[in-house]
């Protein structure tokens, strides 16, 4: 179980997150949504250790990990994917998968992982993870490295950012498959209704606090009222 207890985060006097309490069970599929600047990404970064909270605790399976370093959390079962995947000059897809598997890796594993994210291993294992790859390809590779880590909790920061509609269809399928595997707890920041449909819970963030938790229907009214323009635009499309 992953618990956030009274998490607050301020920059100077500006409150980014205000007293967040949240429990995520091992096989939960949670989607976090809300307007830009509402604190969603910061929350995920706090769980991963990329940002230190001003106050509050992060508890993983009863263990306080608030002061643990990023790599320690990664090796304890928390995996994070970046909104904008990072480019590497010289490191290949194989290298990243190998690192993610703590070097217990062979190409059979690599092939299976890339298949899961809809990429052909023969074409991609030797490719450098650089800007010659498209946004959709980088995003799939980012997800493959996350799956390779075999963490208990996978945190995705706007996986749809920077990819086209067709790639997003595939991405939705990837999340459905992860959910079906029942091996990971999933926390996904998204504005996409198609992900709300398959989530166990949708959490609406606004102004650094949780405004609503529920299924798609329960939060729909709030979304309209809260003027989350991006959500509304996506919905209308």
Partner 1 sequence: MNKEDNDILFNILNEEIDSNSIHNIRKNGEVISKHSTDEVNIVTKKDKPGIELNVKKGSKGEYVQIPVLLTTEGFNDTVYNDYNIQDDVLITIVAGCAIHNDCEITSMHSGIHTFNIGKNCKVKYIEKHYGCGQIDSNKVINTDTFINLGENSTLEIETIQISGVDKSIRKTNAVLENNSALDISEKLMTASNDEVISTYNINLKGENCKANLISRSIAKNNSFQDFISEMVGNNKCFGHIECDAIIMDNAKVSSTPKIIANSVESELTHEAAIGKINKDQLLKLQTLGLTKEEAEMEIIKGFMN
- The residues of the shown chain that bind partner 1, judged by CB under 8 A, are 48, 50, 69-71, 74-75, 79-80, 82, 86-92, 95-96, 99-100, 102, 145, 149
**Contact 151/145 with Cβ under 8 angstroms?**
no
User: What sign results for the dihedral spanned by CA atoms 156, 161, 167, 173?
Assistant: positive
**Contact 90/164 with Cβ under 8 angstroms?**
no
Q: Of 6 and 130, which CB lies nearer to partner 1 in the complex structure?
A: 130
Length of the chain as a residue count: 237
Q: Of 1 and 51, which CB lies nearer to partner 1 in the complex structure?
A: 51
CB of 103 to partner 1, least distance (A): 10
CB of 69 to partner 1, least distance (A): 8
**Contact 36/190 with Cβ under 8 angstroms?**
no
Q: Of 178 and 223, which CB lies nearer to partner 1 in the complex structure?
A: 178
CB of 71 to partner 1, least distance (A): 5
Q: Of 52 and 218, which CB lies nearer to partner 1 in the complex structure?
A: 52
Specify whether the backbone of 35 is left (phi greater than 0), alpha (psi in -120 to 50) or beta: beta
CB of 67 to partner 1, least distance (A): 15
CB of 78 to partner 1, least distance (A): 8
CB of 211 to partner 1, least distance (A): 28
Q: How many CB atoms lie within 10 A of CB 118?
A: 16
Residues with Cβ within 8 Å of 128's Cβ and at least 6 positions away in sequence, in order, are 88, 89, 90, 91, 92
**Distance in angstroms (rounded) separating the CA atoms of residues 18 and 172:** 31
DSSP letter assigned to residue 152: S
Q: For residue 191, how far is the Cα from the chain centroid?
A: 13
Q: Of 97 and 210, which CB lies nearer to partner 1 in the complex structure?
A: 97
Q: Are strands 185-189 and 29-33 parallel, antiparallel or unpaired?
A: parallel
Q: Of 116 and 201, which CB lies nearer to partner 1 in the complex structure?
A: 116
**Distance in angstroms (rounded) separating the CA atoms of residues 171 and 140:** 8
CB of 221 to partner 1, least distance (A): 36
Q: Of 18 and 66, which CB lies nearer to partner 1 in the complex structure?
A: 66
């Amino acid at each position: 179980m992953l618990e956030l207890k009274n998490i607050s985060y301020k920059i100077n006097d500006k409150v980014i997150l205000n007293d967040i309490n949240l429990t995520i069970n091992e096989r939960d599929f949670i989607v976090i949504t809300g307007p830009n600047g509402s604190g969603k990404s910061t929350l995920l970064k706090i769980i991963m250790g990329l940002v230190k909270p001003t106050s509050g605790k992060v508890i993983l399976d009863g263990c306080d990990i608030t002061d643990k370093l990023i790599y320690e959390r990664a090796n304890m079962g928390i995996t994070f994917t970046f909104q904008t995947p990072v480019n590497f000059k010289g490191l290949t897809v194989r290298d990243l998968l190998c690192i993610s598997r703590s070097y217990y890796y062979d190409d059979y594993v690599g092939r299976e992982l890339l298949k899961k994210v809809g990429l052909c291993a023969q074409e991609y294992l030797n490719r450098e993870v650089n800007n010659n790859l498209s946004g959709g390809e980088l995003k799939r590779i980012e997800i493959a490295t996350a799956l390779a880590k075999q963490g208990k909790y996978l945190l995705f920061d706007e996986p749809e950012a920077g990819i086209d509609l067709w790639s997003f269809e595939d991405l939705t399928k990837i999340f459905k498959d992860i959910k079906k595997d029942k091996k990971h707890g999933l926390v996904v920041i998204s504005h996409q209704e198609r992900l709300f449909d398959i989530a166990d819970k949708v959490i609406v963030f606004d102004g650094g606090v949780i405004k609503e938790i529920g299924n798609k229907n329960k939060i729909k009214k709030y979304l309209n009222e809260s003027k989350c323009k991006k959500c509304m635009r996506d919905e209308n499309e």
